[in-house]
Structure 1
Amino acid sequence: MTTITLKVSEADKKFMQAIAKFEGVSLSELIRTKTLEAIEDEYDARVADLALSEYEDYLENGGEVLNWDDL
């Protein structure tokens, strides 16, 4: 695994250490999982917004809405 250096205030470090202890994980694991979860959530939201926008454009240009029974 590679190492990434992260600069935080002493107060933030203590807070993150407390949360890591509370969750029973290492500080590294806490930062890794919470960061990746946040990035994935943001990515999913952007993809959903793009898909909705494309669908709305499709409908505005005469696209047909299908029912489940028609599929």
Structure 2
Amino acid sequence: MKISKKIIDKILRDNKFSLKIALILDIQQTSVRALARSNSDKLGHAKLVEFYKEEGFSEKDIWSK
């Protein structure tokens, strides 16, 4: 499943949010933004889903329909 537009927009607009994702995945922040622009499956990594929930997103908010 793909990540929702809500999460993609948050990654592209919120510097700290995308930086935290970069730290979790151990990649550069610019790479995280590139993953968001292409709506990569890597953004659905289990560690990231847990992080999204910690940031206040529900299961419905995380996944696109």
Give the TM-score of the pair, scaled to structure 2: 0.37
Higher Cα Rg: structure 1 or 2?
1
Give the TM-score of the pair, scaled to structure 1: 0.34
Higher relative contact order (CA 8 A, sep 6+): 2
